[in-house]
Amino acid sequence: MPTLSLSIDELLTTTRAVRQRLDLARPVEFEVIQECLSLAVQAPTPAGMQNWHFVVVTEPAQRSALAALYRRSAQAPGGQDDILNQLVATAAGEGEAAALSRKIAPARYLTEHLHEIPVHLVPCLEGRIENMSAVEQAAYWGGIWPATWSFMLAARSRGLGTVVTTLHLAFEREAADVLGIPYEQVMQVGLIPVAYTMGTSFKPAARKPLTSVLHWDRW
């Protein structure tokens, strides 16, 4: 599959959370997903234990079912929608409220359109976290995100957009039933919507100044 000519630094700084610029009408080839995943599995794993799996969901009925669970989570009392509404309600004036509304529009858009996004990637781990110590959990969680992020970088370099999401996990058991995942043995860790992007130019994100988060030798 052709790749965009992005330098490594450009790739690392422009792989953004893409929601409103996902092309819902353009199909995503099976081969490009497979290619991205074949790169993703090169990521490091704790003790070389490759205990992760990826469920690629393309069937419309499956995507609709997952999107319904995502929406249920977003709309639950105290969920994403309440949090976003409260955020806008606390704005100092009309201008700030409008700016905040614009900022949260992509999250609302995703909730409304998730079922239309052609591919949902569900990264999973063998085992469950419930009875693990903090040390075990650190290695457990750490086992999946490098590979998932590699997938997202590989996708970006092929003109695809992605975004990490976790909201559907409020109904993980129901999602496991939808996908035939053995819930007691396998834990889902997120849902990555995947589609070609409309345009391929993305800017680096606004982040806290490095000096405010960097600690040399001591906290």
Ligand X SMILES: Cc1cc2nc3c(=O)[nH]c(=O)nc-3n(C[C@H](O)[C@H](O)[C@H](O)COP(=O)(O)O)c2cc1C
> Residue count at the site for ligand X (CB under 6 A)?
10
b/e map of 113-147 (b: 16 or more CB within 10 Å)? bbbebbbbbbbbbeeeeeeeeeeeeeebeebbbeb
162 touches ligand X by CB under 6 A: no
167 touches ligand X by CB under 6 A: yes
164 touches ligand X by CB under 6 A: yes
114 touches ligand X by CB under 6 A: no
Nearer to ligand X, 53 or 113 (CB): 113
Q: What are phi and psi of 160, to 5 degrees?
A: -100, 150
Selected binder of ligand X within 17, 76, 87, 91 (CB under 6 A): 17
Selected binder of ligand X within 14, 16, 53, 139 (CB under 6 A): 16
What burial class does residue 193 get, using C-beta atoms within 10 Å of its C-beta: 0-12 exposed, 13-18 middle, 19+ buried?
buried
32 touches ligand X by CB under 6 A: no
152 touches ligand X by CB under 6 A: no
Selected binder of ligand X within 110, 147, 175, 181 (CB under 6 A): 110
CB 214 within 8 A of CB 208: no
Give whole-number Cα distances, 191 to 6, 162, 165, in Å: 26, 10, 5
Nearer to ligand X, 155 or 163 (CB): 163
Interface with ligand X (CB under 6 A): 16-17, 107, 110, 163-167, 205
